Amino acid sequence: MKKKALILILVLGLLSNLLVGCGGKTEKTDSTDDNKSTEKEASTETPYIEVWTSNAGFLAPEKGGPVCEWIKENTGIGVYSPYVPWEGGNAYIQKLNTAIASRELPDMFLPWKGVETTLAKQGAIADLTDLLPKYAPSVWERIPEEVWNIVKAADPNGEGKIYYIPKVDIYNSYGTFVRQDWLDRVGLDMPQTQNELVKMLEAFRDQDADGDGNTDNEVPTSGREFGRWMDQLYGIYGVAMWEGYPMWDIYEGELTYSGVTKNMRAAIEWMRELYAEKLLDNDTFLNAYSDWQAKITSGQLGMWYHLAGVSSASSRFDAILQIQPDADFNPLPNISAEGYEGFVTHQLHNRPEYVIANKDEETIINCLKVLEWFNNPDNYEAVIYGPEGVRHEVKDGKKIILPVDKANMELIPISGIVKDLDAIEKNIAMQRENIDESRAKMMDAFERVAYGFQENNKTIAGDGLPSLVFEGYPDIKSHTLYQEYMTKIIIGEWPIEKFDEFVELWYNRGGTEVTKKAREWYSKVSSN
């Protein structure tokens, strides 16, 4: 019935176009009765919205392109996006700040580095409190109440309004990938302790772990500039980290910035040893996003930390399997250093995912309608398959999900807001049923990793801490002081004792006031 209805709508739309000519214009028609002219308003003008989100190398979805047309067919609203490079968020925020300064905000966009706070104060983004339940009920209902409480507490005007739609991770998608085929070649089991982890890294460094006949290419583990994306090394000391940024959790009975804790000191001291022994890539603090990504996809890394989302993990798996067909992957289990309780940081409230520019009400509503379609469980199958020729193809009447090919695929700039195990299970089942046989090995690995990541995580107390608490202290908000000291200590330029100097400076340069605000926020949200 849905297909017939869609065909009928398309046919009626075509007839309407033929009658009125160009959309948005009026034309005279003669009456068959009295030859009088009448005005007919064309109502076929399609509304479009411009959406910015993270784009790690996909083609930009243009007006009239396959992604735009697919969304338009399903929602009546076209969606397009210029190419806004991500590069770890650095290139994105530069371009977004330019748009903000020129007052040319996209209709809906991913806010980054806390810009939503300033924009909400200025009235530049829409108050969604009343509109969300009406025009995006699936988004409203699927996000837990405790997350909405966090969002309301982040209102910089203190009125408990909703200015952004959060990304919610009920399912934990962060964890550590290990090259199982490397472990097999060096004759080791998956490490369960810190000592065994070090022995694995040593074997990856010294032996022909990748099977290419030499030991020149293997990199045991790596991170990115500013110490990002190596949370697996911090986590075994119980350090709350989020994509390489210290987070807030309970230490010594109070909410505290993990960057100034004894846990962090011990983790940095250990990583200093790893770096000196070249068990941690000595290019780590030089690696831009593209450098780090290339080391993974070229099959050089034995262990790395990232997301187990379908597009991110499977695209890396696919890239490695193309050049190393025997590659295999498994999740690293939870490991604790002696005297510490290790964990992987989980935040139910991942981050602000979308804000909507405060333009006209029609545009705001159209943005919410598109979000509703993507987040309505009734449309889950259609969202996974995506447009034909972009995300799937049809063979012998059966839909086959295509491998991720960023160079030739348009980005779908709207995503599901809530990640839960039910969604992951459905995704895996659909992938299993509708992938080419050559990709079955990739899906085996993805399934092991996706479920394995659920065993290692802990939801931290600072989940959803708003950027408002850092107001007036931009260096603390951006972790600038921490990154300087952490980097120089790990690479051996400064002794570990300099960490104590960092802690004192951090508190003196605003950390005391920020900590007070953070604890006040925690007291408020934890009592709701």
- The alpha carbon dihedral of 406, 171, 195, 231 has a sign of positive
pLDDT at 132: 97
pLDDT at 9: 35
Confidence of residue 444 (pLDDT cuts 50, 70, 90): confident
pLDDT at 20: 32
> Residue 221: in which H helix or E strand, if any?
strand 219-221
pLDDT digits (tens, 9 = 90+) for 304-313: 999 886 566 7
Given a cut of 90, is residue 178 above it in pLDDT?
Answer: yes
Structural domains in the chain, CATH included, are 48-170+353-386+398-430 (3.40.190.10), 174-347+458-526 (3.40.190.10)
Residues of the chain with pLDDT > 90, as a percent, come to: 71
Taking residues 168-172, report their average pLDDT.
89
Q: Which residue has the higher pLDDT, 34 or 66?
A: 66
Taking residues 126-141, report their average pLDDT.
97
How do strand 254-257 and strand 301-307 relate by DSSP bridges?
unpaired
Confidence of residue 450 (pLDDT cuts 50, 70, 90): confident
How do strand 165-169 and strand 418-419 relate by DSSP bridges?
parallel
SS3 track for 27-60: EEEECCCCCCEEEEECCCCCCEEEEECCCCCCEC
Taking residues 222-227, report their average pLDDT.
96
pLDDT at 22: 33
Confidence of residue 148 (pLDDT cuts 50, 70, 90): very high
In whole numbers, what is the pLDDT of the chain averaged over residues?
Answer: 88
Given a cut of 60, is residue 496 above it in pLDDT?
Answer: yes
Q: Dmax over Cα atoms in the chain, in whole Å?
A: 96
Taking residues 459-468, report their average pLDDT.
93
Taking residues 494-521, report their average pLDDT.
98
Given a cut of 80, is residue 408 above it in pLDDT?
Answer: yes
Whole-angstrom CA distances from 475 to 146, 308, 510, 511, 520 are: 29, 31, 9, 10, 21
Other C-beta atoms lying within 10 Å of the C-beta of residue 199: 14
pLDDT at 208: 96
CA 261 to chain centre: 27
Confidence of residue 387 (pLDDT cuts 50, 70, 90): very high
Confidence of residue 26 (pLDDT cuts 50, 70, 90): very low
27: left (phi over 0), alpha (psi -120 to 50) or beta: beta
Other C-beta atoms lying within 10 Å of the C-beta of residue 337: 19
pLDDT at 283: 97
pLDDT at 311: 61
Contacts with 14 (C-beta within 8 Å, 6 or more apart), sequence order: none
Q: Give dist(CA 291, CA 278) in Å, integer.
A: 18
Whole-angstrom CA distances from 362 to 107, 140, 319, 481 are: 11, 19, 42, 44
